Amino acid sequence: MRKKVSIVGAGQVGATTAQRIFEKQYADVVLIDIVEGLPQGKALDMLESGPVVGSDAQVIGTNDYKDTANSDIVVITSGVARKPGMSRDDLLFTNMKIMDSVTSEIVKYSPETIIIVVTNPLDAMAQRVYQSSGLPREKVIGQSGVLDTARFRTFLAQELNVSIRDIQAYVLGGHGDTMVPVLGYTTVGGVPVSELISEKRLGEIIKRTQDGGAEIVSLLKTGSAYYAPSAGVAEMVDSIILNQHRILPCAAYLTGEYGINNLYVGVPVKIGSSGIEEIIQINLSNEEQAMLNASADAVQELIDVMSKQ
């Protein structure tokens, strides 16, 4: 029997994620949204692509959480996206309420599931879902580091005119302006990036990575990124469904790792069929650790604001 992946939110990120997973065939997909007809229409359209793309997987659209019952993974993309001039934090209260309502429905029908949170502001939303789901921390994972790292790798590959496959990098911390590219672990064909690109130019590339989401928002004007975010989710889903034990930068609930307590922050984690198998602790320079602390403080501020609501 195929695995089951449900995706909450049939908007840009949700539908693109559904398509990527449907085409892999290892799981049947349920797309759910509050808007009637939207998930049904997109799912039927996707299903009808099956004969052409060669997928025998099933994909259905629904407005009823009963259809998500016994999901192996639920991906949460529901919520509002940014408009030009907005920061991810501007979405806080609206998306917080949406997290609360969708999480209770998810765990009611899939009490054993693994949840991947994509909705922004990512780290705060992951924390909200973790707290309201009652699931262990291994089973609530935030997607952002894979995306931020993908952006960083893209810009480095362009800069050096090399294959993206030969660029290894980590972008840690919160999914926001305070994210932390870790240069000590960023290599091109095994060569440390700082030997290949000047400090000044690296600084510009890091800045573009940190502003990567805003760059897309200002171009699109009516929405935010979805191709790269959905690719990031699909890589995490692969590692869980296929038990790949990939080491990926993801938002995880830290209980002392990196000196950070009781907070979702992006760090390297090993992911397999049970969710997070291990939080990997890499050595950070003093400056990187200070940046990570500042990033954690920014996440904590949002958590504090939410708790006063």
Q: Residue from 6, 55, 78, 186 that binds ligand APR (CB under 6 A)?
A: 78
Q: Examine residue 118 and tell whether it contacts ligand APR (CB under 6 A).
A: yes
Cβ atoms 270, 246 nearer than 8 A: yes
Nearest residue to ligand APR, by Cβ distance, number only? 11
14 touches ligand APR (CB under 6 A): yes
Burial (CB count <10 Å: 0-12, 13-18, 19+), residue 113: buried
Strands 73-76 and 167-168, by their bridges, are: unpaired
**Which positions from 20 through 49 interact with ligand APR, judged by CB under 6 A?**
33-35, 38
Residue 292, token pair as written in the block:
């990570």
- Interface with ligand APR includes 116 (CB under 6 A)? no
Tell me: does residue 8 bind ligand APR (CB under 6 A). yes
Q: Which residues contact 24 (CB under 8 A, 6 or more apart)?
A: 55, 57, 234, 238
Tell me how far, at minimum, the Cβ of 162 lies from ligand APR, in Å.
28
229 touches ligand APR by CB under 6 A: yes
> How far, CA to CA in Å, does 91 sit from each of 99, 174, 209, 302, 305?
12, 15, 21, 11, 13
Q: What angle do CA 147, 71, 41 make, to 5 degrees?
A: 75
* Selection from 240, 95, 24, 101 nearest residue 250 by Cα: 240
Our CB check for ligand APR shows the closer of 116 and 284 to be 116
175 part of the active site: yes
Q: Is residue 295 close enough to count as binding ligand APR by CB under 6 A?
A: no
Catalytic residue among 127, 175, 180, 182: 175
In terms of CB distance, is 174 or 229 closer to ligand APR?
229
Q: Min. distance of Cβ 214 from ligand APR in angstroms?
A: 11
> CB of 69: closest distance to ligand APR in angstroms?
16
The minimum distance between CB 4 and ligand APR, in angstroms, equals 18
Q: Where are the beta strands (DSSP E) in 118-239?
A: 140-142, 167-168, 171-172, 180-181, 187-188, 191-192
- Amino acid at site 300: Q
Catalytic annotation, residues: 175
Positions touching ligand APR (CB under 6 A) are 8-14, 33-35, 38, 77-79, 81-82, 91, 95, 98, 101-102, 118-120, 223-224, 226, 229
